[in-house]
Homo-oligomer: A and B are copies of this chain.
Amino acid sequence: MSATPTLVALLHGPDQPGLVARVAGWIFERGGNILHADQHRDMEAGVFFQRVEWVPAKGNASADTDGFHAFAASLGMQARVTSSSHRPRMAVFVSKFDHCFHDLALRWKSGEYACDLVAVMSNHADLEATAKGYGLAYHVIPVTAATKAESEARQLALLRSLDVELVVLARYMQVLSDDFLKAFARPVINIHHSFLPAFAGGRPYHQAAERGVKLIGATAHYATAVLDDGPIIQQDVTRVTHRHGVEDLVRKGRDLEKIVLAQAVRWHLESRVLVYGNKTVVFD
């Protein structure tokens, strides 16, 4: 929350001795001061992961950003560096359910999210007034089986024209195609209303009621080509009993969905999530 811009680097690559010291040394030599540093080793895979946040020396922010990328490359590591002065541009996709959308919009308005919410896109017109009530641009792009490719092309063009860096699917009821995800090539966070991998696919609350589980869940994950199979960012559950019918699961699930999606978006915006393979390292 400080006024001084800080830099956050997320890096990972083959483990080797001395990485913590080298990264800290590089920052120190350039006059930077580390505020937070957290690292993880996947012993089996031999991969090193680190999130490091520092205050660069005066005037060094830009040079440090470029320099760190080069430095990381010299260690055989991949890095992503972001500055706290950069506010990512976020778009939210919705359909007809509004609970996750309200939740995200209110958090954004209250200053919880350091991002610019630049667009709301939907395959339906239902939430237009709601979005405009928050002062947000609302774009209706209908999607049908026949027009899906064309609709996605329009979505993509809009996202590009707005330079959107993060898409959040707030109970958006369409599956984004592999082509779309590849072409967009930036993170897309989805909320699925079950404790994945249980109850992937459609109507998870009905599936949960059918199976008689005693907890229902929600999962926020990055969208990938395989439905409901992307890297999991956050999950949570709540207790249910035989007294809860499907409608109750839906109602209780709404609160779970909001909390889980809000947390995942927050972590992403704070550069706390590092994806590798089909998993995430969350430096919380």
Contacts and interface: CB of A to CB of B under 8 A. Distances in A.
Interface string A19-33: 111101101100001
Interface of A: 1, 17-22, 24-25, 27-28, 33-44, 49, 98-99, 102, 106, 110, 112, 133, 195-199, 211-215, 217, 231-237, 241-243, 245, 247, 251, 255, 259, 262, 278-282, 284
B214 A235 contact: yes
Contact of A212 (B37, B242, B245, B278): B278
Chain B CB count within 10 A is highest, among A19, A43, A213, A262, for A213
Given A232-B214, A236-B215, A259-B255, A241 B24 contact: no
Contact of A281 (B1, B27, B237, B242): B242
Contact of A237 (B33, B43, B215, B262): B215
B38 A38 contact: yes
30 contacts: A1-B247, A20-B28, A21-B21, A21-B24, A24-B25, A25-B28, A36-B41, A37-B37, A37-B39, A40-B242, A43-B245, A49-B242, A98-B110, A99-B110, A102-B102, A133-B133, A195-B198, A195-B237, A196-B211, A197-B199, A197-B211, A197-B213, A211-B278, A212-B278, A212-B280, A214-B233, A214-B235, A241-B282, A242-B279, A242-B280
A231 B210 CA distance: 11
Contacts of A33: 17-18
B251 A232 contact: no
